[in-house]
Structure 1
Amino acid sequence: MDPLVAFLVSWFAVVGIVYAVNKNAVRYFVAIYWKTERLNRRIEGLVKRLSFVPLRAYLAVALVLALAPIFIAMPFVRPDGQVQALPGFLYMLIGGTVTAVQTLLSGAPVAEAASRSAGVTPIIPGVTLPWGQLPYLAVAIAVGVALHEFMHAYAALRYGIPLRHVGVFSFFYIISGAFVEPDEEAYKKSGVEAKAAVLASGVAANVALAFLAMLAGVAGAWAGLYGAVFGVSAFGVDAGDRVLEIRGCGLAERVYTPDDFITKINVLAGMGPLMGINKTAACKPGDEVTLVVGKWWGTYEVKLDYSNFTTPPRINWLFEDGSLYKSGVRPGDVVKAVEGCGVREEIRWGGQLLSTLLSLKKLCRPGDVIRVAVERNGTTVALNVTLVGKGGEVYYGLGPGSLPMLGYDAGPIKASEIYNTEFTKFVFWFLVVNYGLAVVNALPIYPLDGGQLVAALAQRRLGERRGQRLVNALSVVLAAMLIFNLALGVLGEQYRVLQMIR
């Protein structure tokens, strides 16, 4: 079924169920807005059962979880268990804005400025996001926003602030969530500690969900729920099955996503250096490569000759200031042999060409001459290549994609024909959505949670009027930066990354 059709069918099914239960909660069959006091009592009962948590300890944990991703760093746990750190988003926003503005003023294109910005991309279904990803996004938003609001309610009730209303809303899944309305007068009269707990709790909940998504990802990887799902039969793998692991030529690598699979088979093919990856595989035709493949009921192995993971030594493109282009090598040429600095190699595949050039880079110096034989229009042409230098070393003028890459230019399967598992998509969107909700809500922009928290602290120190002026000025500056980065994300087409999610 077409993803858009499935989306609409599921939406009207949900609306129909809600209408049957409470027709007043449905607005023109395109929106749901359900506000009730009955849910208040259930939340109050749940909060009572969770009231054993000491308030001071709860406040400390909530503040750490809420403020760390925005002001310090957000630990990021990869499926393979490796831990990285995302810098505090506020520093990314400010630094990215300054760098992007400087890049634009230098005359660089918008795409380059966008690549140096904070990397904020708006999620617009059908525009920046494929319709097929919307169900996963909708579930992540609904859960993330619901828990965000529940924790606001939890903190309010723990500090003696009653609730007025609790409800849920949705507009075609795209804008969905829940809301809690604490008693306004009681909230205003509460102390800074109570306000800090209420405001930090929602953000802390999203950070906690992001961490849970990461841990679920690690557990899922251990259980074999990740992998690259083949949309067509290729490499001896049946359509619909998942490649879980690649072994051969000194490599034994788990596979987690389609991009991960493409990267690792290109490392196997010897293309790692062109991708900025130092890891190489010592392979030659005749060597054996094993793919561990998963089905729903088990696994099987596919054993292949290494020749299945080689690419032709054809030049796709070159930097014009490099040795090869300056000496006459042109896109479309197929390199047949390389000789110089005591080395002579007959070239049969792309990875062999790249490894030979890298070997010569260590043996030769700028100014030396090597001979390169290429096949051009069915004729062999011998070229004397004078090596030029850049940064103190030999510079060939090769870049990413200068030689054919498996999954893009060569091989039995294209990158667009490999998909994530359903588990991977849910984990990905739970992580992205909850991290996004956390850092945006924690920004000191009024009336976001972070802005209200800064306002409470500023008004206590400076008085209500002066404190509010400070917060308003800060909000305008940061909101302008956020909007600027969002605009760059659209104009610079950074959303293409979202569109590549499969």
Structure 2
Amino acid sequence: MFLASWVLLVGLVYLVDKRAVRYFVAIYWKSERLVAYVARFTEKLSFIPLRAYLAAVVVLFLMPVFLAMPLVRPDGQVQLLSGFLYMLVGGTLSAIKSLAGGRPVEEAAAHSAGVTPIVPGVTLPWDQLPYLAVAIVVSVVLHELMHGYAALRYGIPVKSVGVFSLLYVFSGAFVEPDEESFKKASTEAKVAVLASGVAANVVLAVAAMALGILGAWAGLQGAVFGVSALGVNTGDRVLEIHGCGMSERVYTPDDFLTKVNVLAGMGPLLGVNKTVSCRPGDKVTLVAGSWLGRYSVEVDYVNFTTPPRVNWLYVEGSLYKGGVRAGDVIKRVVGCGVEAEVNTSGQLISALQLMKQRCKPGDVISVDVERNGTLATFNITLVEKGGSIFFGLGPGSLPLWGYDEGPIRRSQLYNTDFAKLIFWMIVVNYGLAMLNALPIYPLDGGQLLAAVAQRKLGEKNGKALVTAVTWVLAAMLVFNAALGVLGEQYKILQSIK
């Protein structure tokens, strides 16, 4: 279907203008007539003062690479992403140190900047291509439109506007300013023109985040069920969870699974401090949505619990040192005034959390386990780490609902179409802003560095500086991308649904 759609597109373009088709694998088309549309857009926004515009685009240009980018979740929580230049340099040095220390490639990749090339069908599932394509078209067109706007505002003529594509994967648009006029333009004009595209992508990314929040409140997000489970029909989405003191909206599949596991008492293993007080017999209400409206499903809390079976332990923790091993099912824990029969992973976490408050390093607790059908008791001396009792449990040490146990798995949950489009609008715009702002020639950041460096250092020294910076940063990008492939970090993209 991918190749057939490409052949159809190329065929249509060939009928309109055969010069725009290159060997039937690429499209390159430009037009002088489209410049009129850029001129009209510029005229409508000509009321913006140039100094204010320059200041705004410079700040926005610096954000993704040199300052920080805000990441706003659908629930309104804000996280700051460090400037990518620091991540790239720091990740490269950390990865090289890991490799020099004899660490495997996978571990070195985990310390890198996380650069993963997006290649449909290889690193990205085909079903994500439509959302990615829409995001690319919108992002690239507005990126180039703002280049043209800034050029015309500073009196630099625009010769043509065009588009290009190589099998969909490498696609974009471009605005072609008059080269001689651009060379003669002031440094201020060059900075404004070069920074405008990145600024547009930053604004689009933030706007997409804001739209995601509005869509979440309108019920356009949620966890879409790929199978019928818990009374929710196939294709319907869970929008809210209520019960045991929890009343939360659901934004994504992972958000749904996190909140369900918090209900089951597994919050501490997921890094979530929120606790709930569910007991056997309590009910949990799922609010689901379909094209025809919303409905509620009441589910017994026990449906979300998992058995206290140990998957793995930190070897320096109390449980492992005391004899507990992967595969053991913990039945009972006693010590420090706590005596608890354990039937679920959540009950085990609650008992150990209480012991953590009451015990001190060196105290001995008793743990009953079932191993290969036989009961065994271990007397465990508690050890300390970081100023508190360390049992040796970590993420995934006990079964998680939706990942290890339960009627539905993460692979059977999907994002809504709205959530997918918002996701790719954020990723594509942040990616374009981050890449283009890097001081690598001939990217926007490299050209901007060249304009400033040649004015301050002279043409020869400025070119030498730009060349050196370009080769160093380009090598870092290639190194990190190679680690991302060899270390199989692309599997994160492959798992997106």
> What's the TM-score once normalised by structure 2's chain length?
0.96
d(CA) in 2 for partners of 1:78, 1:398: 28
Query: Residue 196 of structure 1: CA displacement?
Result: 0.9
Partner of 1:276: 271
Q: Which runs of 5+ in 1 are unaligned?
A: none
Partner of 2:111: 116
d(CA) in 1 for partners of 2:425, 2:414: 18
d(CA) in 1 for partners of 2:54, 2:356: 58
Partner of 1:267: 262
Query: Residue 290 of structure 1: CA displacement?
Result: 0.9
Query: Residue 393 of structure 1: CA displacement?
Result: 2.8
Partner of 1:315: 310
Q: Secondary structure at the match of 1:245?
A: strand
Partner of 1:482: 477
Is residue 370 from structure 1 mapped to residue 340 from structure 2 by the alignment? no
Larger CA deviation: 113-122 vs 237-246: 113-122
Contact 1:228 1:257 in 2 (8 A): yes
Q: Secondary structure at the match of 1:299?
A: strand
Partner of 1:358: 353
d(CA) in 1 for partners of 2:426, 2:234: 28
d(CA) in 1 for partners of 2:79, 2:22: 45
d(CA) in 1 for partners of 2:62, 2:314: 45
Structure-to-structure mapping, 1:326-337, within 5 angstroms: 326-337=321-332
Superposed CA RMSD: 1.6
Query: Residue 262 of structure 1: CA displacement?
Result: 1.2
Cα 1:381–1:277 shift into 2, 3 Å? same
Structure-to-structure mapping, 1:317-466, within 5 angstroms: 317-466=312-461
Is residue 170 from structure 1 mapped to residue 165 from structure 2 by the alignment? yes
Query: Residue 343 of structure 1: CA displacement?
Result: 1.6
Contact 1:170 1:176 in 2 (8 A): yes
d(CA) in 1 for partners of 2:113, 2:270: 23
Is residue 157 from structure 1 mapped to residue 152 from structure 2 by the alignment? yes
- Output one character per residue of 1:163-203: Cα deviation in whole Å (capped at 9) or x when no partner: 22221111221111111211111111111111111101111
* 2:437 maps to amino acid: A
Is residue 298 from structure 1 mapped to residue 293 from structure 2 by the alignment? yes
User: Which residue of 17, 25, 31 corresponds with 2:26?
Assistant: 31
Partner of 2:231: 236
Q: Which runs of 4+ in 1 moved over 4 A?
A: none
d(CA) in 1 for partners of 2:347, 2:19: 69
Q: Secondary structure at the match of 1:166?
A: strand
* 1:447 maps to amino acid: P
Partner of 2:98: 103
Contact 1:210 1:434 in 2 (8 A): yes
d(CA) in 2 for partners of 1:62, 1:367: 60
Partner of 1:146: 141
User: Which residue of 196, 203, 216 corresponds with 2:191?
Assistant: 196
Partner of 1:185: 180
Q: Which runs of 5+ in 2 are unaligned?
A: none
d(CA) in 2 for partners of 1:450, 1:245: 44
Query: Residue 292 of structure 1: CA displacement?
Result: 1.0
- Output one character per residue of 1:239-285: Cα deviation in whole Å (capped at 9) or x when no partner: 10111111111111211111111111111111111112221221111
Q: Secondary structure at the match of 1:315?
A: coil
Query: Residue 118 of structure 1: CA displacement?
Result: 1.8
* 2:355 maps to amino acid: L
Corresponding residue pairs, total: 497
Q: Secondary structure at the match of 1:234?
A: coil
d(CA) in 2 for partners of 1:131, 1:204: 30
- Output one character per residue of 1:470-489: Cα deviation in whole Å (capped at 9) or x when no partner: 11112222222222222222
- Output one character per residue of 1:402-456: Cα deviation in whole Å (capped at 9) or x when no partner: 1111011111000000000000111011111111101111111111111111111
User: Which residue of 50, 75, 80 corresponds with 2:45?
Assistant: 50
Q: Secondary structure at the match of 2:464?
A: helix
* 2:350 maps to amino acid: S
Q: Secondary structure at the match of 2:286?
A: strand
- Output one character per residue of 1:371-405: Cα deviation in whole Å (capped at 9) or x when no partner: 21222222222222222333343222212111111
* 1:305 maps to amino acid: D
Is residue 73 from structure 1 mapped to residue 53 from structure 2 by the alignment? no
d(CA) in 2 for partners of 1:82, 1:318: 32
Query: Residue 320 of structure 1: CA displacement?
Result: 2.6
Q: Secondary structure at the match of 2:48?
A: coil
> What's the TM-score once normalised by structure 1's chain length?
0.95
Q: Secondary structure at the match of 2:75?
A: coil
Q: Secondary structure at the match of 2:320?
A: helix
Contact 1:317 1:330 in 2 (8 A): yes
Contact 1:143 1:177 in 2 (8 A): no
d(CA) in 1 for partners of 2:449, 2:405: 55
d(CA) in 2 for partners of 1:451, 1:414: 46
